[in-house]
Chain A
Amino acid sequence: MSRYVIGRIGQAALVLWAAFTVSFVLLQALPGDAILIKFLNPELGLGPEQIADIRASYAVDSPLLVQYLHTVANFLMGNFGYSIHAGVPVGDLILANLSPTLWLSTLGFLLSLVLAITIAALSALSPFSWLRSFIQSIPALFISTPVFWLGILLIQVFSFQLKLIPIINPGPWQALILPVVTLAVPISAPLAQILMRNIDHVLTEPFVAVARAKGASHRGVLWRHVAKNAVLPTLTIGGILFGELLAGAVVTEAVFGLNGLGGLTQRSVNDQDIAVLQAIVVFSAAAFVLINLTVDLLYPVFDPRLRVRQGAVA
């Protein structure tokens, strides 16, 4: 088991390194130059020599390989460099923007789980087939709702019409309610769809017929036999969706004016602030890798078949 864990962690490190390297190459290949964007501004009135000095201080003209090794070494020591645009350490910048994103994505993901499970449970328990096909069509509606439109609609209804949530200076919790809902609705759709398909599939398994033959009710079978078997395959997709959320929800943050990682990413792309982008890529990759690692390690807890590494069966 421990060998398995070590192997998985090794793979995770490899993925992180690959993400770092690929993003480094791609960001270097970007046309444009962050230093020129900022300091060539005529208002600053800097001469060519001064700009050359600045360029030297950022070491942007040294060979790429040297820059690469230098950046790797710095990242390994937890030094993510300085934002060219804001002039502050990248680490501080990310930390400042992390908290809203963390709250938004965690709560959004939890709400999407609740929504998905509710939809799937209603569909499985509905006594009429017309009701079930109606419930099963809800995720398709959810997934095709544009996020910006949903966000604006929610603000219109709850803030302006019903005046339930103040739009100016809301409390920290009030400010999160609408964005969380906006985020959760589209995320819940694929989860609900996979859950419903799994439930339908598990219901056709012979062990369900055996459970019915024991005298178990439909509800009892769903709860005791179907639920766990149907949830297992959704773990992977759940992990991926949560990872995507952590990388920042650009549109939702923009609509609700939240200062999260999504907004920071957007600004840094505009400013070509390579150091910030590089750190964001590595952070997102790390979040992804960590979540996937957790999911992989969770599987054996839920599925006894994965607990023993079986050899070849003849």
Chain B
Amino acid sequence: MTTAINIKSASTNIVNLPVLEISKLAVGYRGSEGFQRVVHEVSLLVRPGEVVALVGESGSGKTTTAQAVIGVLAENGQLESGVVRLNGTDIAGWSQKQLDTIRGRKISLIPQDPTSSLNPVKTIGAQVAEVLQIHRQGSRAEIDARVIELLARVGLSQPELRARQYPHELSGGMRQRVLIAIAVALRPALIIADEPTSALDVTVQKRILDLIDELRREYGTAVLLVTHDLGVAADRANHIVVLKGGRIHEQGPTAEVLASPRSEYTRKLLADAPSLGKARIARTRSPRVSGSDDAIVVGNLVQDFSIGGRRDVFRAVDGVSFTVQRGTTHAIVGESGSGKTTTARSIVGFQRPTSGRIIVEGIDVTNLRGESLRRFRKTIQLVYQNPFASLDPRQTIFQIVEEPLLNFDPLPREDRARKVQAILERVGLPQPVLTRRPHALSGGQRQRVAIARALVLDPQVLVLDEAVSALDVTVQAQILALLNELQQALGLTYLFISHDLAVVRQISDTVSVLHNGRQVDGGPVEDVFQRPGSAYTRELIGAIPGQRNADRH
């Protein structure tokens, strides 16, 4: 705070005046263990029309910083010290009442999760109109007209209809467009975009980010972009600020940070980010790959679900075929609703396919019933997406990993303990975690536990359903390396379900691209990436963030 310079007197040159100037910001939360500071001495500048990306992993304090700027910290959060200047005025000490006069008008927010960021019981039109009403922008008729105009501007078809609809009637991408319409409605000087596309499919992500870019240029609004994705930051920001543990590790112009990172941490982030195309997992193929035996054969798989009435069926998977060689990784890629998880569930035997053929390790899965189906689970195991929800919080890690053993051929207690310990060592977990419960472990450690639980039965095939999607990039890189190492040591076959093409390119040998239940592309992964066989695959590849600057260099 000693650096408080009188910006006002120097503000004759409006162009040079930063829209946002944060100086030595400190934010903390009151918890059960007293007050804990999570943001330390953060200082940054956002100039008019500029995009500044706040990059960091979970717990880095990036969202807390953004929330502190706009004054929407959680109830137990507190802005301890520091200066937050908006257009030269320090708003750090302002009351909520004072902040109400500038929020929405001078500074606005594009939130993270479009599904929960709109009031479910109010119409879209009313929610867009609200920001105009609060700041008294004209008569009712004028506001209604402006709402339609805004909805049309953010690219929503039939804006009059949309205004009358409720949030649940719109897709995630459409809802994010509505939230953008709210954020730009009064042409604020600064928009805080807090992970605006993390919950969206990759092609939708690209369109939304393009829209934000376009509106930013049109209105001259500056954007503080909070993101965990270095690829997104690389594509969209003029300036990158790297946060870790609540402190700034590095900041500078995007090209500089990407080309010659100064801090060790930034270098690691860049190396681990799959989308920047720099990360490559050293894959030395095991010799068995050359053999021609197939671990999984899927032929013309069709899966229908009945909806509502007796005759209405929804075809979730429509004629998917592929084979996976033993000891290799096959990826199923697609956006939400593409049928990739449904395909995986049919292969594991959770549901009977409507038609088609599934053979796993020589076993015809479609004919399995009762006990033979249960036995089949020893051959194939699943690792789920969310390492927080897929482990029973009341069990110790030992119990979690031991449980599958109890379900099959009974082993003496000492043998089970030996097996559990061996597999935990195999996945790189220290012995002391055996007695802990999941909540005491980090996300990466939990996913290692989930992998250990799947491997303890010595399966031949592992189905990884978005198994690394919820993890931070550095942790993600570690888990991918672990999976690669396990595959080579144990000769495992992986079926890797993912929406993330960059990760798929890193880890898999062959790939099937699914779109609306149909297989639109397939084959060896480099072939598909180099010579995509369908327009949809090309669009998917084009939407991977982090390519713009790579092209520029």
Contacts and interface: CB of A to CB of B under 8 A. Distances in A.
Interface stretch (A56-64, A282-290, A299-307): A299-307
Nearest to A313: B337
A304 B168 contact: yes
Interface stretch (A9-17, A31-39, A160-168, A220-228): A220-228
B412 interface: no
B168 A314 contact: no
B104 A312 contact: no
B121 A214 contact: no
Contacts of A213: 70, 72, 103-104, 108-109, 111, 183
Contacts of A311: 307-308, 312, 314
B72 A209 contact: yes
Interface string A6-35: 000000000000000000000000000000
Given A210-B179, A225-B122, A216 B134 contact: yes
Contact of B111 (A210, A216, A218, A225): A210
Contacts of A204: 74
- B102, B120, B179, B182: which has the most chain A beta carbons within 10 Å? B120
B118 interface: yes
B166 interface: yes
A309 B101 CA distance: 41
B119 A312 contact: no
Contacts of B238: none
A206 B116 contact: yes
Contacts of B119: 207, 211, 225, 229
Nearest to A311: B307
B201 interface: no
A126 interface: no
B189 to A, nearest CB: 14
Nearest to B168: A305
A45 interface: no
A62 to B, nearest CB: 46
Interface string B184-211: 0000000000000000000000000000
A287 to B, nearest CB: 29
Given A214-B104, A215-B104, A216-B100, A206 B111 contact: yes
Contacts of A305: 120-121, 166, 168
B235 interface: no
A201 interface: no
Contacts of B179: 210
B166 A304 contact: yes
Given A213-B72, A215-B135, A217-B100, A312 B307 contact: yes
A207 B305 CA distance: 33
A210 B307 CA distance: 34
A201 to B, nearest CB: 12
Contacts of B308: 309, 311
A207 B166 contact: no
B117 A206 contact: yes
A207 to B, nearest CB: 5
Nearest to A203: B75
A218 B134 contact: no
Given A207-B116, A304-B166, A311-B314, A212 B339 contact: no
Interface in B311-357: 312, 314, 316, 337, 339, 342
Nearest to A229: B121
A215 B314 contact: no
A205 interface: yes
A285 to B, nearest CB: 31
B130 interface: yes
Nearest to B126: A224
Given A210-B111, A212-B72, A213-B183, 7 more contacts: A214-B103, A215-B134, A217-B97, A225-B122, A304-B121, A304-B166, A312-B305
17 contacts: A206-B112, A207-B118, A207-B119, A213-B72, A213-B103, A213-B104, A214-B108, A215-B104, A216-B104, A225-B119, A225-B122, A229-B120, A229-B121, A304-B168, A305-B168, A312-B307, A314-B314
Interface of A: 204-207, 209-218, 220, 224-225, 228-229, 232, 302-305, 308-309, 311-312, 314
Q: Which 9 A-B pairs have the closest CB atoms?
A: A311-B307, A215-B104, A213-B109, A214-B104, A214-B131, A215-B103, A304-B166, A206-B117, A312-B307
